[in-house]
Amino acid sequence: MPAAYPLPTDLSPTTVANTASLLRIIALALISSAAIASRLFAVINFESIIHEFDPWFNYRATRVLASKGFYEFWNWFDPTAWYPLGRVVGGTIYPGLMATSGVIYNILHALNLPVDIRNICVLLAPGFSAFTAWATYMFTKEMKDESAGLLAAAFIGIVPGYISRSVAGSYDNEAIAIFLLMFTFFAWIKALKQGSAFWGTIAAVFYFYMVAAWGGYAFITNMIPLHVLVLMLMGRFTSRLYVAYSSWYAIGTLASMQVPFVGFQPVRTSEHMAALGVFGLLQIVAFGQLVRAHVSSKQFQGLLFAAVVFTGAIGFFGIVGLTYKGWIAPWTGRFYSLWDTGYAKKYIPIIASVSEHQPTAWPSFFMDLHFLIFLFPAGVVMCFRTLRDEHIFVIIYAVVASYFAGVMVRLMLTLTPVVCVSAAVALSSLMDAYLDPTEPEVEDEKKESSTPASVVAKSSTSTTTPATPATGKKSKKSKDKETSAPAGGVLGELVSNVASSAVAANSAAPTQKGIFGLDTRVVVLLNTIGMLLFFVVHCTWVTSNAYSSPSVVLSSTNSDGSQHIIDDFREAYYWLRQNTAEDAVVMSWWDYGYQIAGMADRPTLVDNNTWNNTHIATVGKAMSSPEEIAYPILRKHDVSYVLVIFGGLIGYSGDDINKFLWMVRIAQGVWPDEIQEPNYFNRGEYRVDSEASPAMRDCLMYKMSYYRFAELFGSQQAVDRVRGQQVPAQGPTLDYLDEAFTSENWIVRIYEVKKDDVLGRDLKIANAFDQGKKRKRTKPTSRRKAISA
Amino acid sequence: MIRRWRTLPLLLVGALAPTFSLASLPFENTAIVRSIELGGSLVHVSTTYAVKALQPGQTTYQIMLSKAERAKTSWFDVKVKGQTVPLEVAELGEDESSIGHLLSVSLPKELAVNGTLNLVLETVQTHATHPYPERATQKEPQLLKYEADLFITSPYATLVQRTKVRSSSPNVVSYTTPHDVDSFVKDGSVTKSGATITYGPYYNIQMDAVFIAKYQQPISVHYNFDHAVLEVKTLRRTAEISHWGSNLNIEDDIYLRNAGPTLKGHFSRLEHQSQSYFRKFSSHILSDLTLHLPPGVTNAYYYDQNGNVSTSHLRKTPSVAKGSKASQYSVLELKPRYPVLGGWNYSYTIGFDTPLEDSVSYDANNGIYNIGIPVMTLIPGAVVDDAEVKIILPEGATNVEFISPFPELSSTMSTHITYLDTTGRPAVILAYKDLTDKHTGMIYVSYQVPFSAHLKKPLSVSAAFFSVFAFAFMARRVDLRLHKK
C-alpha cells in the first residue's frame, strides 16, 4: 500500500487510543477556555456589568432569589412593575436562569467562596458556552466522529452568531438555553440510536430544564415530533423510535407542566399539539406493527390500514374541533408572525417594534457565521449521503432553522448550532480525505479496487493516524469511516480542480478514489487552515467590535486614542435612586423599564415584559399628546417623573425620538381617533426642525427632548446630531412638567410632573401668571377642557 | 429661635439653683479669648484662658462648656499655650447648679498663689451651623447661620473676655448685636472688620445662675460659605489583613450628603454647564472630591450600586517603609456620578490595597504583630455622623488587643468568613460618632498568628481537591452495570 507520507508503525493500539483520548480532552479544554475568553471582551473593555435591557430584570430577580430564598422568589409579587397593576413575577417568568445562578451562588457560598451575585450573573453565559461546546461535540460525534465533534465544538465556541447572545454580562435566557438545546438534542439522538428509555428520560429532564429556562423550548417541542413524523413517513419506524419518543414525550410533557408559566399549555395550545399528535400516531403505528406481527392475512392488513387512517383522522379532527371550540388555544400572534413577516407590523406593532424581531438582512449571515455558511450546505449534503436516522434530524433542523433565521434576526441563534455541526461534518470529511496517507493504487486497480479489503486496510492504517484517531477501534466506528470515506472523495474531487490533475486521471477508475502526492494534500490543507484562521480573526473582530458593548455604558474614543466612557444612563438612574422618593413612579418608554427597576429601584409604568398592550399604548399616548392631554393621564397614573432618552447632543441614535413613531403606532392601535401617525409627518417626512408638523411640535416627547436644547448652543444654530437637522432657536416650553435632571451628555432627561397649583388654577395659566403674561379671555374654556379630559 | 426656646427651661433651672459661693474660688481668669472659625459642617473654636491661681497648690483647673456647646462639641483638647503635648482632661459632667458641663484639666505643675498659666482649649463643633434660608436655587449663594452663647462660661470669675467670629469670606449677611451688656462694656459691644466679628471685650464677668438668666444670650452670625457642606451619614470601613497576600485592603462604604440649603426648584444641566463654561462654579455644589490615600496604594477602586464609576484619577506615590514619615500622599480625585447639589445624597464605595509591610510590624521575640489602621480617610470639611471600622485579622489570629486613638462608642469582636476560610477570621468592630478632621489617627491592633494557622487554608484546599480526585479515581473503577459485558 503506497503512502503519501510515512507513519510510525511501532505504536501499540492502546498507546494510540490513550494519546488520542488525552489530546481530545486537551482540545476540548482549550476550546472551552477560548469560548470563555472571547466572551470576556465586554468585561475587559468596560467592566463586569449586566448588559442591555432584559438581563437587568433577570439580574434583579436573581438578586431576590439569592437574598430571600427560592420560595419568596416563587411567590414574588412585584408591585413596582406595571404600576399600578403590579406583576406576579414567579408565575410570569422562566425561572431556569435565575435558579441556575441561585444554585451556583449557594454552592459557592457553602464552600466559603463569597462571590458577588452580579459576577455570577455576568459570567454565567461564558461559562455555559463552554458546556455548549462540549454538548455540540457530543452531538456531532453521533453524526460523524470525534474529529468532526472537536471541529464543531471549536466552531460553536467562537462563532459570533452564538457569542452575540452570550457575552459576559448578557445575562439572558439564551445564555443557558443553547446548551440545553444541544444537550437535549444529543440525548434524543442517543435515545433514538440505542432505543434507550434512560437516554429518553435524560432528554426529557433536559427538556424540562429548557422549558424552565427559555420560551424557545417550543422549538424542541416541535423539532423532535417532526423528526419522528418524518422517520415514520420514510418507513423507518422501529421499536427504538417508539421507546425513545414515548419516554421523552411522557416524562418531558409532565415535567414541563410543573413550570407555572407553562402550566397546562402543553395540552391546551396549538403550538404543543404536534407533539401530542405524533405521540398518538406513534401509538397507533406501534399497535399496527404489533398486530401485523401476529396476523398475516392480507385482507386484515388492509382493514388495519383503514383503521389506522381512520383513528388518525379522528385524532386530527378532534384537535381541530377542540381548537374551534376554544378548548385548545389557537396559534398566538407571535407564532403567526413567523409565517407572515408583515403580520406583526399590521396587528401587533409592539412585537414589530423590537429590532431583534425584524427579518434578517443577508449580510448578517456572513457576519455571524463567516465561512461556515458556505460549508453548511455541503454538510447537509453529506448527511444525505449517509442518511441514518440522526442525519435526518440534522437535515430537518437545518431546513427549519434556516427558514426561521431568515424571518427573525433573533432566531439566527437557533440556526447557529446546526450550521456549526454541518460545517464541521463537511470540513472534517475534507480533512479526513486529505490527511489520510493512503494513496490509491493505480497499477493493480483491477484486482484490489472493488474489494472491501482495501477499505478495511485503510481504516486500520488510519488507526495510527493521530488526526483521525479512535476510528477502527470498534466495528461501528469503522462503519462510520467506511461511509464517510467516499464522501471525502467527493469533496476531494471538488478541490482537486484547483489542486492537481492526478485525481482527474484517477477518475477513470470510479471505484478507486484517493489523492496522490504530498503537494496536493499540502495545498488543500493549507487552504483549509487559512480559512480556519480567517474565521478566528473574523470571530474575534466581530466579537470585540460588534457584540461586546453593554449598551448601558457607551464608549467613544478621545482625540488621543484613549477610551472615553459615556455613562449617562447610570448617572441618571443613580440620581433617581438616591434623590427621589422611594415610591416615586417613573414613566418612560417600555425599553427602559427593566433598567429603571434594576438600577434606579423605582416603580415604572411599563417595562420590557410587554404583556399589557393597552398600558403601553397609554404611555405612548401620553408621550405623543400635547401637554394638556398628557397631564391628566400622568396624574391618573401617579407619575412623578418622566424619563426620556435624547441623543441629539452627542449623536446617540437609539434615542426616543427615533423610536417615537412606534409609540405613535402603538397608541394609534388603541386610540385610532386621537392619535394618527400621518399627523407626525410633514408631507411624508419625519422632521424635528422648524418644519416639524404641529402635532409633532406639541407632543410631550418632542418638548421634553428639545426643552432648552437650543440655548446650549448660545448664538449658534442648534443642530440635532442624530437627525442632522437644525432645531429652531426658540425651543419648546413646558407648563405641566419641570426639568428635574439632565445627564452630563444630555442623553437621559428626567422631568418632574408638577403637582396641582395651590390656588387651583390650571398650571398653564399659573405659569403664564408667573411670567407676567396677561391672561387671555379664551383661556378659561381650554382650562375646563383640560381638566375634564 | 428654636434653640433659644430649648435652652429656656435650662435657664429656669439654673435660676432656681443655689448660687456659687464666691469666696472659695481657687482661680480667676485674667482674660479669655475665644475665636470661632466658621465653616460648613465643622466649626473650629479655640479658647485661650489666661489663668491666675488664687489659692496655693492648685493642680486642676476646670473649664465649663454650656450644655448645648458640649452637645455640639465632638472633639476637644487642652494644651498649655505654645506647647504641643495635650493635657489630661477628665469630664466631670454637669456642675451642681447645672449651668454647664465641666471639664477638669490636670495642670502640668502646681500653681502657687498668683501663679499664671495660659491654657488653650481647642474644640471642633459639628452640626453647629444650619442653612438659612433652608432652600436655595442652583444659582443662589449658600448662606449658613451659626449660633453660640455670647459669654464664655467659666466657673471662675473673669476679668475680661472677648469672642472673635471669623468667616471664610467677608460676605457676612448679618450678626446679632447683644443687648443689656452695657455694664460690662467699655467701648462697643460688637465690632466687625472684614470677615471678623468681635464681641467684647466684656469686663468683670462672674458666671452664676442669676447672671446666666439675666445676661447670657445667643448670638448668631449669618454668613456666606463658599464650599460644599458635606455630611457623611454613615462610613463603614473594612480593613482586611492578608498575610498570604502580604496585603492590607481598606474599603470604605460612604453615604454622603450635601447638607447645604436644599435645592429649590430643579437642577438645570444647562445652567451647570454654562457655569462651568464661564468658570463661575457655584462652589457649594460638590462636583469632585480630593482624597489623600496612603503612599504605595495599588488596585484602587471606586464604585457604587450601579457599578464602576469611571470618573476618577489616582496619582500614586511609591510606598515608604513603616516608621518613616511619608512625605507624599497618593491623591485620589473622585468625581461623583452627578454633581451633588444641596440636599442630594450620593453613596459610593472606594477601596484600595497597600503593602502589608508598610503598616505591620513583627516582634520576633514574642511573635506579636502590630498593625496600625487609619480610622478614616479624611474628606475635607466633612463630618462623619456614624462610623464603623471593621478590622479583619488573618484566620487563626489569637490574643487580639486593640487601642483606639480616641474613645470609641462600642467595640465588638466577631467572626468574618471569606474566601475558602474554614473557621473564619477574627474581626474587631469599632463604632464612632461625629468624627471630624481632628479624629485622624491609627487604631493599633496586636495579634499573634501561629504557624499552623497559616497552613490551614492550603491544607484544606488541597484536602478538598484530593478528595475530589480520589472520588473520581474510584468512581471510574466501579462498575455498576447490571449486564456485564
pLDDT(B8) > 60: no
Q: Hunting for cell 507624599 — which residue is that?
A: B328
From the list B385, B434, B127, B137, the residue with the least C-alpha distance to B261 is: B137
Give the list of residues 6+ apart from residue B402 with CB closer than 8 angstroms, or none: B391, B411, B428, B430, B443, B444, B445, B446
A571 vs B contacts (CB less than 8 Å)? 337-338
- CB burial string A233-261: b at 16+ within 10 A, e below: eeeebeebbbbbbbbbbebbbebbbebee
Give B45's pLDDT tier (boundaries 50, 70, 90).
Answer: very high
Angular region, A519: left φ>0, alpha ψ -120 to 50, beta rest: alpha
Q: pLDDT of A674-695, one tens digit each?
A: 888 888 888 878 888 888 888 8
Which amino acid would we find at residue B290? T
* The pLDDT of residue B326: 63
A552, closest residue in chain B (CA to CA): B306
* The pLDDT of residue A1: 56
Grid coordinates given for A525: 490543507
Distance in angstroms (rounded) separating the CA atoms of residues B477 and B185: 103
Instruction: Output A713 or A787, whichever has higher pLDDT.
Output: A713
From the list A238, A233, A229, the residue with the least C-alpha distance to A195 is: A238
Residue to substitute from B338, B344, B421, B480, interface A, most A β-carbons within 10 A: B338
Distance in angstroms (rounded) separating the CA atoms of residues B415 and B426: 5
From B299's Cα to the closest Cα of chain A, the distance in A is 14
Give A749's pLDDT tier (boundaries 50, 70, 90).
Answer: very high
Q: Flag if A112 and B420 touch (Cβ within 8 Å).
A: yes
Q: Flag if B266 and A708 touch (Cβ within 8 Å).
A: no
B305 vs A contacts (CB less than 8 Å)? 574, 577, 599
Burial of A474 (0-12, 13-18, 19+ CB in 10 A): exposed
Q: Flag if A565 and B310 touch (Cβ within 8 Å).
A: yes
Decide: A207 and A248 in contact? Cβ < 8 Å.
yes
* The pLDDT of residue A200: 94
Of A628-632, B324-328, B462-466, the least confident: B324-328
Q: Calculate what percentage of chain B has a pLDDT beyond 90.
A: 24
Angular region, A440: left φ>0, alpha ψ -120 to 50, beta rest: beta
* The pLDDT of residue A445: 47
Task: State the Cα torsion A82-A85-A90-A92 to the nearest 10°.
Answer: -70
From 2.60.40.1660, 3.40.50.12610, 1.10.1740.10, 3.40.50.720, which CATH number describes the A568-755 domain?
3.40.50.12610
Distance in angstroms (rounded) separating the CA atoms of residues B338 and A580: 14
* The pLDDT of residue B279: 66
Grid coordinates given for A38: 472571547
- Summarize the confidence of residues B368-394 as an average pLDDT: 91
Residue to substitute from A118, A564, A570, interface B, most B β-carbons within 10 A: A570
Q: Which domains are seen in chain B, by residue range?
A: 2-224 (2.60.40), 230-459 (2.60.40.1730)
Distance in angstroms (rounded) separating the CA atoms of residues B150 and A250: 90
Distance in angstroms (rounded) separating the CA atoms of residues B200 and B191: 8
pLDDT(A783) > 60: no
What Cα–Cα distance (Å) separates residue A770 from each residue in A627, A755, A766, A775? Answer: 18, 16, 6, 11
DSSP-H helix ranges across A329-474: 333-339, 343-347, 349-352, 363-369, 372-386, 389-407, 412-435, 445-448, 452-462
H/E stretch holding A248 reads helix A239-256
Half-sphere exposure of A243 (CA within 13 A, CB side): 14
pLDDT(A763) > 50: yes
Q: Report CA Rg, chain A.
A: 32
Task: Confirm or reject contact between A147 and chain B (CB < 8 A).
Answer: no
* The pLDDT of residue B207: 77
Distance in angstroms (rounded) separating the CA atoms of residues A176 and A173: 6
Distance in angstroms (rounded) separating the CA atoms of residues B329 and B294: 5
From the list A775, A776, A771, A767, the residue with the least C-alpha distance to A631 is: A767
Reported residue count of chain A is 789
Give B13's pLDDT tier (boundaries 50, 70, 90).
Answer: very low
* The pLDDT of residue A687: 83
What Cα–Cα distance (Å) separates residue B117 from each residue in A542, B31, B51? Answer: 80, 11, 5
Q: Flag if B420 and A111 touch (Cβ within 8 Å).
A: yes
Q: pLDDT of A211-259, one tens digit each?
A: 999 988 989 999 999 999 999 888 888 889 999 999 999 999 999 999 8
- Summarize the confidence of residues B366-385 as an average pLDDT: 89
Task: State the Cα torsion A52-A55-A61-A63 to the nearest 10°.
Answer: -80
Of A407-421, A735-749, B278-292, the least confident: B278-292
Residue to substitute from A21, A579, A716, interface B, most B β-carbons within 10 A: A579
pLDDT(A364) > 90: no
Q: pLDDT of B52-82, one tens digit each?
A: 888 888 888 888 888 888 888 888 889 988 8
- CB burial string B394-426: b at 16+ within 10 A, e below: bbbbeeeebebeeebeeeeeeebeeebbeeebb
Range picked from A337-346, A402-411, A442-451 for highest mean pLDDT? A402-411
* The pLDDT of residue A449: 43
Q: Mean pLDDT across chain A, nearest whole number?
A: 82
- CB burial string B313-328: b at 16+ within 10 A, e below: ebebbebeeeeeeeee
Burial of A47 (0-12, 13-18, 19+ CB in 10 A): middle
Distance in angstroms (rounded) separating the CA atoms of residues A513 and A506: 7
Of A247-256, A543-552, B115-124, B276-285, the least confident: B276-285
Reported residue count of chain B is 485
pLDDT(A483) > 50: no
* The pLDDT of residue A500: 37
Give A784's pLDDT tier (boundaries 50, 70, 90).
Answer: very low
Give B262's pLDDT tier (boundaries 50, 70, 90).
Answer: confident
Decide: B340 and B346 in contact? Cβ < 8 Å.
yes
* The pLDDT of residue A120: 93
B422 vs A contacts (CB less than 8 Å)? 112
Give B324's pLDDT tier (boundaries 50, 70, 90).
Answer: low
Question: What does DSSP assign to residue B243?
Answer: T
B274, closest residue in chain A (CA to CA): A712
Q: Hunting for cell 463661575 — which residue is that?
A: B280
What Cα–Cα distance (Å) separates residue A576 from each residue in A128, A586, B91, B469? Answer: 34, 9, 46, 51
pLDDT(A343) > 80: no
Distance in angstroms (rounded) separating the CA atoms of residues A136 and A140: 6
* The pLDDT of residue B322: 63
Instruction: Output A2 or A101, whichever has higher pLDDT.
Output: A101
Q: Mean pLDDT across chain B, nearest whole number?
A: 84
* The pLDDT of residue B27: 87
Distance in angstroms (rounded) separating the CA atoms of residues B120 and A650: 58
Instruction: Output A762 or B426, whichever has higher pLDDT.
Output: B426
Decide: A621 and A604 in contact? Cβ < 8 Å.
no
pLDDT(B23) > 60: no
3-state SS class at A746: coil
Q: Calculate what percentage of chain A has a pLDDT beyond 90.
A: 32
* The pLDDT of residue A486: 40
Distance in angstroms (rounded) separating the CA atoms of residues A271 and A695: 43
Angle made by CA atoms B222, B224, B225, in degrees to the nearest 5: 120
Decide: B359 and B243 in contact? Cβ < 8 Å.
no
H/E stretch holding B74 reads strand B73-80
Distance in angstroms (rounded) separating the CA atoms of residues A383 and A381: 5
3-state SS class at A736: coil
- Range(s) for CATH 3.40.50.12610 in chain A? 568-755
Q: How many CB atoms lie within 10 A of CB B82?
A: 7
Tell me, rounded to whole angstroms, the distance of Cα A689 from its chain centroid: 38
Closest to A47 (Cβ–Cβ): which among B308, B345, B418? B308
What is the value of ipTM here, to two decimals?
Answer: 0.87
Residue A43: φ, ψ to 5°: -70, -40
Give A523's pLDDT tier (boundaries 50, 70, 90).
Answer: very high
Distance in angstroms (rounded) separating the CA atoms of residues B72 and A488: 89
Q: Flag if B419 and A746 touch (Cβ within 8 Å).
A: no
Q: Using beta carbons and an 8 Å cutoff, which residues of B are at the interface with A?
A: 265-270, 273, 304-311, 337-338, 343-347, 417-422
Question: What does DSSP assign to residue B340?
Answer: B
Question: Residues 524..563 of A with a Cβ closer than 8 Å to B: which?
Answer: 553
Residue to substitute from A567, A578, A712, A739, interface B, most B β-carbons within 10 A: A578
- Summarize the confidence of residues A344-356 as an average pLDDT: 72
Grid coordinates given for A666: 402603538
Q: Is the torsion defined by CA of A563, A569, A570, A574 positive or negative?
A: positive
Q: Flag if A113 and B420 touch (Cβ within 8 Å).
A: yes
* The pLDDT of residue B325: 64
Peptide bond into A349 cis (omega under 30): no
- Summarize the confidence of residues B112-129 as an average pLDDT: 89
Q: Report CA Rg, chain B.
A: 29
- Bridge partners of residue B331, in order along the sequence: B292, B315
pLDDT(A507) > 50: no
Distance in angstroms (rounded) separating the CA atoms of residues B105 and B86: 10
* The pLDDT of residue B85: 86
Give the list of residues 6+ apart from residue A524 with CB closer than 8 angstroms, or none: A430, A434, A492, A495, A499
Distance in angstroms (rounded) separating the CA atoms of residues A166 and A172: 8
3-state SS class at B302: strand
pLDDT(B387) > 70: yes
The pTM assigned to this predicted structure is 0.85
Q: Calculate what percentage of chain B has a pLDDT beyond 70.
A: 92
